[in-house]
Amino acid sequence: MKIFFKYVVHAMLEKKARLVLLLFAFTLSTALFFASLGLADIIVDSVSRPIVEKTEGNHIRIVPETGDPFFDIDDIVPAGIESFTASIALSGVV
């Protein structure tokens, strides 16, 4: 970090255009970083919002007690569940 500050001081005193370009590069890279973060949030929201609207906000996960990932739909006892719709859920990472 000390070398960087020496370079900035040297550039300020000697070459003004290089300092302006350095500050412009920092500004541009910071703006691109925050724009990419915002864009990632927008993309994730645009993918997940239709799914949540389609399921009407219902989030129930049924996991078998035996640990076997494959089970029959007839093994599920829907006691206390008003509406039951079976589906396959896939998880992903953006």
- In our burial notation (b when 16+ CB lie closer than 10 A, e otherwise), range 61-93 reads eeeeeeeeeeeeeeeeeeeeeeeeeeeeeeeee
Q: Could you tell me the pLDDT band of residue 84, with boundaries at 50, 70 and 90?
A: low
Look up residue 10 and give its two tokens: 């040297």
CA–CA distance, 26 with 85 (Å, rounded to integer): 52
* Domain positions in the chain: 2-58
Give the tens place of pLDDT for each residue, 49-75. 887 777 676 666 666 667 676 767 777
Look up residue 64 and give its two tokens: 């078998």
CA–CA distance, 23 with 85 (Å, rounded to integer): 57
Q: What is the pTM of this model?
A: 0.43
